[in-house]
Amino acid sequence: MTSESSRPRNPAGHAGLLENLIALVGALTEFFESRFALVARESKAAAVQVLVLIVCVVLALALCVMGYVFLIVAVVVGLAHLIGTSWPAVALIAAAVHFLVALIFLLVARSRVTKPFFRNTVAELKKDREWLKHLDATNQSTS
């Protein structure tokens, strides 16, 4: 009876701090493992959906390009028939118009590219580089 009273009793039946920490780590591990498994499963499904979406967009773009080509051919043949001239002359005019529009788009793109991207970030990185050079020079002069 004395041996039972000298031993610390836990009337609520709770485990000690170490056991609770081990249980918490185990529960957190199981929680994150289940979440990672769920993310892995859903990411596979999402990857399939994105792949299907990309294939559909690429095929739609290809069909649009083909439709545009057929439209241009029909317009060239129709204009040649309407004007009473040969279709190669009308096709050359259509090609020249397309090249002119492409040149305009290229000039607009070039004007947009001349403005540097991430101006503020580049300026901050230059300041950091100068600060590091100054710091390095200061450290070498004190040595």
Per-domain boundaries in the chain: 9-85, 87-143
Average pLDDT score over residue span 111-126: 83
Higher pLDDT, 141 or 133: 133
- Tokens 């979440």 locate to 35
* Confidence at 3, pLDDT banded by 50, 70, 90: low
Given a contact cutoff of 8 angstroms between Cβ atoms, the answer to whether 94 and 72 are in contact is yes
| pTM value surpassing 0.85 | no
Residues 74-105 have pLDDT tens digits of 999 999 999 999 999 999 999 999 999 999 99
How far is the C-alpha of 13 from the C-alpha of 1, rounded, in Å? 20
**Per-residue pLDDT at 133:** 87
Q: Please give the Cα distance from 19 to 16 (Å, whole number).
A: 5
Task: Summarize the confidence of residues 63-72 as an average pLDDT.
Answer: 96
List, for residues 9-57, the tens digit of each pLDDT value.
555 556 688 888 898 999 999 989 988 888 888 888 888 999 999 999 9
Rounded to the nearest 5°, which phi and psi values hold at 24?
Answer: -65, -45
